[in-house]
Chain A
Amino acid sequence: MTAASVSPVARAEATRHAWLVVGLSLIVACALVGSLFVGYAGLDVTQAIADALRGAQTLPAIVLVELRLPRALLGCFVGFSLGLAGAAMQGFLRNPLAEPGVVGVSGAAALGAVIAFYSGLSTLVPLALPFGAIAGAIFAALLLFALVGRGAGTMTVILAGVAINSFAAALTSLALNLSPNGFSALEIVYWLMGSLVDRSLPQVWLATPFMLAGWILLLTAAPALDALSLGEPTARSLGFDMARLRVRLVVGAALAVGASVAVSGAIGFVGLVAPHVLRPFVGHRPGRLLFVSGLGGAALLLLADIAARLLPIRPELKLGVITAMVGAPFLFHLVYRLRREA
Chain B
Amino acid sequence: MLRLADADRVASVSWLSRDAANSNVAALADRVPVNHGLAEEVMSHRPDVVLAGAWSSRTTVEILKRLGVKLVEFDVPRTFDEARAEIRKLAAAIGEQERGEAMVRDIDAGLAALPSPKPPLRALVMQPNGFTVEKGSLVEEIMNRAGLENLASRVGGGGYLQVPLEAVALQQADVMILNGEAYGAPSLATAALEHPIIKALGRRLRVVALPPKLWTCVGPNLVEATRLLIAQTRGAGTAAR
Listed in ascending order, the chain A residues whose CB lies under 8 Å from chain B are 39-43, 57, 59, 62-63, 65-68, 117-118, 120, 122-123, 179-184, 186-187, 190, 197-198, 200-202, 314-316
Among residues of A, the one whose C-beta sits closest to the C-beta of B188 is A187
- Check if A183 sits within 8 Å of B195, measured CB to CB: no
Residue-by-residue, is B190-214 near A (CB-CB < 8 Å gives 1, otherwise 0)? 1010011100111010000000000
Given contacts A62-B201, A66-B197, contact A198 B189 (CB under 8 A): no
A41 to B201, CA, bound (A): 17
Among residues of A, the one whose C-beta sits closest to the C-beta of B204 is A59
Distance of B118 from chain A, by nearest CB (Å) = 25
Contacts of B170 in A (CB 8 A): 39-43, 59, 63
Distance of B80 from chain A, by nearest CB (Å) = 28
Contacts of A118 in B (CB 8 A): 185-187
A180 to B169, CA, bound (A): 31
Contacts of B185 in A (CB 8 A): 118, 120, 179-181, 184
Among residues of B, the one whose C-beta sits closest to the C-beta of A202 is B196
- Check if B162 sits within 8 Å of A179, measured CB to CB: no
- Check if A181 sits within 8 Å of B169, measured CB to CB: no
A315 to B160, CA, bound (A): 11
Residue of A65, A198, A316 near B165 (CB, 8 A) is A198
Residue of A57, A67, A190 near B169 (CB, 8 A) is A67
Listed in ascending order, the chain B residues whose CB lies under 8 Å from chain A are 128-130, 156, 161-162, 164-167, 169-172, 182-190, 192, 195-197, 200-202, 204
Given contacts A118-B185, A122-B186, A183-B183, contact A200 B196 (CB under 8 A): yes
Give 29 CB contacts A-B under 8 Å. A39-B170, A40-B170, A41-B171, A57-B200, A57-B202, A59-B201, A62-B169, A62-B201, A66-B196, A67-B165, A67-B169, A117-B186, A118-B187, A179-B187, A181-B186, A181-B187, A182-B182, A183-B128, A183-B187, A184-B189, A187-B187, A198-B164, A198-B192, A198-B195, A200-B195, A200-B197, A202-B196, A314-B162, A316-B164
Q: Is the interface of B mostly helix, strand, loop or mixed?
A: helix
Contacts of B189 in A (CB 8 A): 181, 183-184, 186-187
Residue of A39, A62, A315 near B200 (CB, 8 A) is A62
A323 to B197, CA, bound (A): 28
Max count, chain A CB within 10 A of own CB: residue among B162, B186, B195: B186
- Check if A40 sits within 8 Å of B166, measured CB to CB: yes
A66 to B170, CA, bound (A): 13
- Check if A67 sits within 8 Å of B187, measured CB to CB: no
Count CB-based A-B contacts (< 8 Å): 97
Among residues of B, the one whose C-beta sits closest to the C-beta of A316 is B164
Q: 17 additional contacts, CB 8 Å, given A120-B185, A187-B187?
A: A39-B166, A41-B166, A57-B202, A59-B172, A67-B197, A117-B186, A179-B186, A181-B189, A181-B190, A184-B189, A186-B189, A187-B129, A187-B189, A198-B164, A198-B166, A198-B195, A200-B197
Given contacts A118-B186, A181-B185, A181-B187, contact A62 B197 (CB under 8 A): yes
Contacts of A62 in B (CB 8 A): 169, 197, 200-201
A43 to B189, CA, bound (A): 26
Distance of B207 from chain A, by nearest CB (Å) = 15
Contacts of A186 in B (CB 8 A): 129, 189
- Check if B162 sits within 8 Å of A315, measured CB to CB: yes
Contacts of B190 in A (CB 8 A): 181, 183
Among residues of B, the one whose C-beta sits closest to the C-beta of A41 is B170
Max count, chain B CB within 10 A of own CB: residue among A41, A65, A184, A190: A41
Contacts of B200 in A (CB 8 A): 57, 62, 65-66
- Check if B183 sits within 8 Å of A201, measured CB to CB: no
Distance of B21 from chain A, by nearest CB (Å) = 10
Among residues of B, the one whose C-beta sits closest to the C-beta of A67 is B166
A68 to B195, CA, bound (A): 13
Contacts of A187 in B (CB 8 A): 129, 187-189
Contacts of B165 in A (CB 8 A): 67, 198
Contacts of A67 in B (CB 8 A): 165-166, 169, 197
A213 to B100, CA, bound (A): 67
- Check if B195 sits within 8 Å of A314, measured CB to CB: no
- Check if B156 sits within 8 Å of A314, measured CB to CB: yes
Among residues of A, the one whose C-beta sits closest to the C-beta of B202 is A57
Among residues of A, the one whose C-beta sits closest to the C-beta of B169 is A63
